[in-house]
Structure 1
Amino acid sequence: MQRRADGTTLAQLAILVPITLLSLAVVLAIAQSVFGLAFGWGITLAWLAAGLLVMHRPTERLLAARLFKLRKPTPQEFDYLAPIWKEIARRAEIDATNYELWIEKSDDINAFASAGHIVAVSERALRTLPPGQLAGVLAHELGHHMGGHSWAAVLTVWYSLPARLVYHLARLVIAALGYVVARTRSCFLGVILLSVLTVAAVYAIVFLPVIVGPYLLAWLGRRSELRADRKAAELGFAPTLIAVLRDYDQDEDQETTGGLLATHPSPAKRIQRLEAAMRPAAV
């Protein structure tokens, strides 16, 4: 089994293209206004290239420690995790050393795949989950890496950031203009109102990818979770992953509380899909 970009990753990258173009225009406009034409292009190209550092191990380790609040496992923690991870890697037919095991400083039961090479598990999960359930959780995270979900998520954050910042700034400007219209009682009210509507229309058209993108990306995020579950099931870890999911509070249904922006399916839906994956195929 080799690392690749599955359908959800390719769709996510396709959605990212127009958002990245907006971000590119934002960075270029700001850089050129501050540093001039030549330096502006240089800064813009540097910003584009910086996204590729997601696969650069030293940069990835720095982000893991500073941004995601991860730490390297202690020798005792590594001795406990290493055999579990090696068994997962053996079943997946990959080199276990292609990925690095890290610990999340959290008291929640959690694990996640970060960027290109990191698999992190929370301190509480490490402390409370039995080895079989821990293997199911880690196999799920390997599924994210094998599908390319983790590096695509980091690229999405980086390349959408400038466009999202300007989008929110534009919302504040339009809100301020609307307030001015509401307070204006002069003969220019019609002109001001028309100007606000024009700005709002241009805003909606220009930033349509940023407005719609989060909903599409959240939907793809839910699909990527199910794909990672399916990968864990293919490796034989469906029963132990189901056991972990059943321990979750079923009242905290993300598809209900998070709505269209929920990034994870509900535990019940994940369990249903995992149980279906365990059934023998019809002849």
Structure 2
Amino acid sequence: MVLPGKRRAGAKSGVGAVRPDGTALCSLALVLLFLPVAGACLLPLALLARRALGVPLWLAYGGWFTSAVCYGMRPVQLTMARLLWPVRRPTEAERERLERIWRHVVTHAGVCGRRFRIRVVDLPDVNAHSVGRDLVCVTTGALGALGDRELAGVLAHELGHHLRMHTSAAAFLVWVLLPLQGIAILGTLLAAPAAILARGLAQSRLGHPWAGGCARGASRLGHGIRAVFAAPGVAAFCAKNAAGRSAEYRVDAFAVDVGLGPELLSALRWFSASEAAAEAARRSRADRQDRAGRARHAAVHISRPTHPPLDRRMARISARVESARTVPRREPV
């Protein structure tokens, strides 16, 4: 059980203060970098609205910028979370447990916990994530599988995302990337005729030598159209994922600095052991399927691109915890 602790001296020195770090500033820089590209991607839609509905360009783009302001509001963020996940309020038992653990976390961080909201996601996956400015979501799988100590480390990690403004900056970056995703979908639609032609020529029984060449040419044309339209979004998401990996390291360090590094390390060790067991089970199933002749490919586990490997995170946390233990404490004058 997690017991309330005293406020740490490190929290008074500004560790728990709300301030953007390098990752949040990088996300905001990416917003400014891709904003003109997103505006250019919206131009065909704005021109269509002007031609069909008589909406002037300034009003179309004004509505787009207004949506960015709405995107940063708490009710909108909660609505988006409910659309993406089955988010709900905690039950009485869940609320008592989460409030006890959350008081422990915010006491160590030296912040007011009332400005944050905790919601439960009805998913069996053991996970937690932060949304917008102040929303922390915990899955029912995490509540059932993790102990209070491990859950405190996970919540400290998510609190670090909010205090370093990672999720706030990422929300606006996602808003900028939406038009880039739209233009990638448009490229897929434009490439569809070439793909259909390539499949038709490949499946035809024409004996002419030019049939195969035309099929390959049409296929390459379709791939080229999709690549051109998807290139801005691919570049933006690669930069976003790189910033996300940096954010994970930073908030891991935050959890250590507020005194909850061992708790987070214990949670990550649980995740690592769980992943290893799941990978062994997948390989065993794949081997049985291969021997039975029912599987073409072995199961491959691909880690999320926004998160660094667990072993690297655990190594950094262990080193930082050990360093914090060896640093001599300064006695008050």
Is 1:271 the counterpart of 2:311? The answer is: no
Alpha-carbon distance between aligned partners in 1 of 2:239 and 2:41, rounded to the nearest angstrom = 22
Which of residues 64, 67, 71 is equivalent to 1:54?
A: 71
Secondary structure in structure 2 of the residue aligned to 1:32: helix
Secondary structure in structure 1 of the residue aligned to 2:306: coil
- Contact 2:190–2:225 (8 Å) recurs in 1: no
Q: Offset of 1:208 from its aligned partner? A: 4.3
Unaligned runs of 5+ in 1: none
Unaligned runs of 5+ in 2: 1-15, 202-208, 280-299, 328-333
Give 2:34's aligned residue: 19
Which of residues 66, 71, 74 is equivalent to 2:91?
A: 74
Q: Offset of 1:257 from its aligned partner? A: 4.5
Deviation by residue 1:22-65 (Cα, 9 ceiling, x = unmatched): 22223343133223565442232122221222331222222222
Q: Offset of 1:125 from its aligned partner? A: 1.4
Pick the structure with greater CA Rg.
2
Give 1:32's aligned residue: 47
State the percentage of identical aligned residues.
27
Whichever residue aligns with residue 109 of structure 1, its letter is V
- Contact 1:54–1:116 (8 Å) recurs in 2: no
- Structure 1 residues 271 and 171: CA distance shift in structure 2, 3 A: same
Alpha-carbon distance between aligned partners in 2 of 1:203 and 1:44, rounded to the nearest angstrom = 26
Alpha-carbon distance between aligned partners in 2 of 1:14 and 1:53, rounded to the nearest angstrom = 20
Give 2:286's aligned residue: none
Whichever residue aligns with residue 267 of structure 1, its letter is L
State the superposition RMSD in angstroms.
3.2
Aligned residues: 273
- Tell me which moved more, 55-64 or 270-279: 55-64
- Contact 2:187–2:226 (8 Å) recurs in 1: no
Give 1:103's aligned residue: 120
Give 2:205's aligned residue: none
Give 1:4's aligned residue: 19
Alpha-carbon distance between aligned partners in 1 of 2:39 and 2:65, rounded to the nearest angstrom = 8
Q: Offset of 1:175 from its aligned partner? A: 6.2
Alpha-carbon distance between aligned partners in 1 of 2:64 and 2:301, rounded to the nearest angstrom = 36
Secondary structure in structure 2 of the residue aligned to 1:102: strand
- Structure 1 residues 102 and 202: CA distance shift in structure 2, 3 A: closer
Q: Offset of 1:211 from its aligned partner? A: 2.7
